[in-house]
Amino acid sequence: MKKSPATYVAQGALIAALYVILTEISAVFGLSGGAVQLRLSEALTILPLYLPSAIPGLFIGCIVSNLLTGCALWDIVFGSLATLVAAIITSRLKRVKYLASIPPIIANTLVIPPIIAYVYGTEMALWLIYITVFLGELVSCGVLGTALIGVIEKRRK
């Protein structure tokens, strides 16, 4: 059964809202930005496997989250585009679901560290920022996102 455009928009909006809420929870603990970050919202980056509406939902959620947490323009633009590209790639991994966390881990690990180093001007060495961003993405996307896949797959059966 084909879903209506209204369902698509509603699902995307719900995912965007969840992304924002989870980012704000991370922000309460000081983990939503900076060289050491662990956005709980990044676990949602596996959702394009199941819902095409997750692609714009994650993109819009990332933009809104970055605006609300006071990110710089470069971070808002390129961080959100990294999320969009990763979501599109993730949506194509339906046959290998447990690899779904790889695109957002790679995209964010490549895009975010230079922004942190050069836009925000941190004292931390760039190579160390690459490591900390990678580890944060590994936990949020790799561990939490993969756990979310397990929950979804279990419920589908």
Please report the pLDDT score of residue 134 as a whole number.
96
List per-residue pLDDT tens for the chain, 157 residues long: 578 999 999 999 999 999 999 999 999 998 888 778 899 999 999 999 999 999 999 999 999 999 999 999 999 999 999 999 999 999 999 999 999 999 999 999 999 999 999 999 888 999 999 999 999 999 999 999 999 999 999 998 7
Question: Are 117 and 75 in contact, with CB atoms under 8 Å apart?
Answer: no
| Core vs surface per residue 50-79: b (16+ CB within 10 A) or e | bbebbbbbbbbbbbbbbeebebeeebbebb
- Nearest-5° Cα angle at 29, 27 to 31: 60
Which domains, and CATH codes, for the chain?
A: 5-156 (1.10.1760)
Nearest to 40 by CA among 48, 31, 49: 31
Please report the pLDDT score of residue 1 as a whole number.
58
